[in-house]
Structure formats: structure tokens, C-alpha cells
Amino acid sequence: MDNYDYIREIAKKKMRLDGRKSDERRHLSIKTGVINHSDGSALVELGGTKALAGVKVLPGEPFPDRADEGGLIVNFEASELANNYESDRIMYSVEVGRVTDRGIRESNIIDLKKLVIEAGKKVLFVYIDIFAINNDGNLLDVANIAALSALVNAVYKIEGSEEKVPLPLNLDKLAISHTFVKISDTILLDPSVSEENAADTRLSIAVGEKINSMQKGGSGFFTAEDVDYCAGIAFAKKEEVKNLLTKAVKR
């Protein structure tokens, strides 16, 4: 009952079930500081999709091959209860965590070298835990925005000092994820869950100053022109989200 045929049919005319334009996002809202016992947290809603992210900064031993760097660990979890219907099950929840991790890591927004307390012995690890609360499609973007908001929101204390410091972030490098799906040769931004079910293929692009990461899913294909078109939209739309994010998050 996900209107599979109908979505594919009207996509040819660039129409969508909820009346959006092909390059229009759903309403985005960001709330930060929602969890008391985390260092930073954010609740992001994009249409009906909701995700909660929490950041915790903890000391630990560095990885043996990276003695002079702190660590960044992203964890994503999607409960079965997040889906409205059985058919909406998230088939790619491991992928979401990895793509979010890559988007943040490759943008170099967080300077891991500054997280060292004692080289080779003690560094800080940044744990980002993201929970999908409700899945109405496009968890990739929601997880990305939630993780970034929580990172920007985070302040931490080092043992033995009372002062709370924000993470060493370079806010110019915020890499915002944009997910596109291709349905009957039409490219749609921010798919809802029924559009994800009907899609041939999916492309996620995280853009900051340049393209930071990309991820393709599904069995269909994108032509070179399609990818250019997607990247163009992503660059045009990213400021909107970035402004909302920097405004919503008080450092």
C-alpha cells in the first residue's frame, strides 16, 4: 500500500505525492541541548523523520597507528519501532552510520590533533550516537544534520578542570548531506519513505566548501549529467540548512 506504481507514474511529470517540487526539502527543525547528561545533543525533525543525536567526549588511549590524534566514533541505531509500517523497514542502517561518519571525518570540521592530552598515552574520543526515533524517509540527511548540530552544541570538561570548552571545530567546513533519489528518470531531493521504496537508485552528497563525500545506493544508475545536476542543487541548497543550523545551535 505504498502507492509504488502511482509514485513512479507521476514522477515522470515531476510531481510528488506530497505536492513538493522536485528540489524542495520538507520542513526542517533543529532543537539542541535536549539531553542533560550528554556533552552536546540535538533533536532534528525533517518532515516526519526524527533523529536524536548525543555527543560524549571521553578520555582514552589513542589508536596505535595514530598516536598524536584523538578519535571520532559515530554510531547509528534504528529501532524497528521507528518505522510506521512494516514495509518501511530501514535496510541500510549500518550504511547510515558509516556515511555520517565519513561526511564528518572527511570534511575535517573537527581537528583531531587538538584532542591530544598526552601524546601516545591519553587523547580524547568524541562519541556521536544517533538514534532514529521516527522514519519517514531520508534518514541519511537527518542523521548528518543531527550529528553536526550535536557536535556544534557540545561543550566538555577535562578531568581536573572545572572549565567547559567547546570542541575544536571549524564551522566554515560544515558538510551538509543532501540525498537524492532517481525515480523514472526524475531526480528528487529529500525522498519520503514511500519514494525511497519506489526509487531506482539513491545518491547522497555531503557538501561543505567542496564535495566531501558521496554515497550511492540501490540498483539503478546515475549519468554524469545527473551527478552534476545533484551537486549543483546541493551547493545551492546547503546555505539554507547551514544558516538554520548555526542559528539553532548556541555555542
Partner 1 sequence: MIHVKDHDIVTPGELLSDEGNGSHGTYLEGTKVFSKYFGVIRIEPKGVGVQPLTSVYEPMEGDEVVGQITEVGGKYWVVDINAPYYTRLDVRDMNIRIDTNELDKYLDIGDLVYVRVFKIYPNHSADVSMRGTRYAKLPGRTTAKIDIMKLPRLIGKEGTMINIIKTETNCDMLVGQNGIVWINGEDYNKALALAAVNLVEKEYYNPNLMDKIKELLKNVRGKV
The answer to whether 190 touches 46, Cβ cutoff 8 Å, is yes
* Cβ nearer to partner 1, comparing 97 with 191: 191
In angstroms, give the least distance from the CB of 136 to partner 1. Answer: 13
Rg (Cα) of the chain, in Å, rounded?
19
Give me the helices (H) in the chain, please. 4-11, 93-106, 139-153, 193-198, 224-248
Using alpha carbons, select from 235, 183, 184 the residue that is nearest to residue 205.
Answer: 235
d(C-alpha 144, C-alpha 161), whole Å: 31
Residue ranges in contact with partner 1 by CB under 8 A:
1, 3-6, 9-10, 13, 15, 17-19
d(C-alpha 47, C-alpha 27), whole Å: 5
In angstroms, give the least distance from the CB of 79 to partner 1. Answer: 17
In angstroms, give the least distance from the CB of 19 to partner 1. Answer: 6
* Cβ nearer to partner 1, comparing 75 with 83: 83
* Cβ nearer to partner 1, comparing 18 with 77: 18
* Cβ nearer to partner 1, comparing 14 with 210: 14
Return the amino acid letter for 54.
Answer: G
In angstroms, give the least distance from the CB of 81 to partner 1. Answer: 13
In angstroms, give the least distance from the CB of 119 to partner 1. Answer: 54
Q: Please give the grid coordinates belonging to residue 2.
A: 505504498
Q: Which helix (H) or strand (E) holds 80?
A: none
* Cβ nearer to partner 1, comparing 15 with 34: 15
